[in-house]
Structure 1
Amino acid sequence: MSFSTLIGLVAGITIVLIAMAMGSSISMFINIPGLMIVVGGTVAATMIRYSMADSFKAIGMSFSVLKVNSEVKDFNELVDITEDLLRLVRSKGVLAMEGYEVNNSFYSSGVRMLVDGYALELVKQTLKEKNKLLVEKAETSAGVFRSIGEAAPAFGMIGTLVGLIQMLSNLSDPSAIGPAMAVAMLTTLYGAMIANLMALPIADKIESWVQNESDREMLIIEAIESIGQGHNPSVMRDLLAPYLQINSKAKGRGEEG
């Protein structure tokens, strides 16, 4: 799991806040009407595009991307586990896998189905459906954050227009010009920060994360098929080699998650 999203988010916000504090007081960058326009408008627009359930699922998915767990994720380690299981099955039979603990929930569910006597094709179909549902959920979640990334700057511009209208309508009252100009400028800032420091990076991260997860699950499905067919370990490694190459390229791009 890469911490780049969390580190980038914290670092980005910290740098902006430090820059604000160095030039003036942070309090002058807080404007409640401006926040109401940008945050409220963005939430409303997102809720129009997506259901409330999809919106909450997107928030949950963002935590899944950041979450650290103890499950086996490394592709090479999964191949080693598959070799252990193959040798176990070839020497003692399928039921012997019941005593082998696989520290990966997706892999473990496939092994459990084989031990319970499910047909290999049914096991593969079930695992592929789980994989498909994960990808669809992630695509929807990324779409929610992209919607936020599109709406926030737009409502920032709307807030700017509101502030300018208020300012122009009160030119005879100098005391009203300052607050109106603050709304005009700060809403654009809020919209840009929400889009570029949170929403769009998280959308990209979810897409990268689910691609890696999907590749891992497809490797596991192929591994389960090798176990079910009782392949020789060397044959199994040849069959899974393409996934290891894909993983190596993902690591090179820093996408291992």
Structure 2
Amino acid sequence: MRTPTLIADELRSMAHAGLLYSGNVYDQHRYLKLMELSAEVAQLEIPAPKPQLVKAYLEQATHICPLMGADAVVVKENQILLIRRKDSGLWALPGGNIDVGESVSEAAVRELFEETGLRATPVRLLGVFDAKIWRGRSLMHFYQMVTHLDIQGGELQTTMETLDVKFWPLDALPELDEGHRLMVPKAIEMLKSGETHLDLLTPEDLKAQIPPAPRKRAQPFRYKMIRGLVHLLFLMQRTPAPR
């Protein structure tokens, strides 16, 4: 089910694509209007003024595809490592955006070190989580790639991005940040089962594979009359003159 924020992000993405590829000034004006409307839809969930949302959208002018993030799962003695976020004060997996040129595992290793001070190596991918299903709180459509990491060294510490860093029992998790409330238990399940999570297609998703039926353009009477005259002249030119 799409939330108002995700609907707004889809509209914003369409507007950005239009502004990027359209050379028609009238269409560009329409796409700017579409962006303003998407900001109004976002306001249904986000308590922010429309100009502020439009500004945030314009700053992401190249974002026409979903963003990707990397989260790290580190488990020791039946406990999972979590960070307490500065922005919400709630607990979450260490992680952040994947930089251009990085692999998923590289980003997970880097984010773990930046947020906890620990060094690690990747073990395997636990899952790919779609924020529209797992209720992430990002303004933009987001995919989170969750990777199991094995600690190799370093010293556990808070950093400029965290309020606290702590191992929690797998069966006694603290209050988790939006999105992580559902995702962390699922990641633990994948860790125990040895499986990898992937959000499967729904019947609604499968509709995208059905080609749209061709639409016949309504032709005004004047257009039909001109087309008929052109066809008549073409036939007259091909008809040999009587001798």
Q: Which has the higher contact order (CA 8 A, sep 6+)?
A: 1
Report the TM-score, using the length of structure 1 for normalisation.
Answer: 0.24
Structure that is richer in helix per residue: 1
Q: Please, what TM-score do these two structures have when normalized by structure 2? A: 0.25
- Greater share of strand residues, 1 or 2? 2
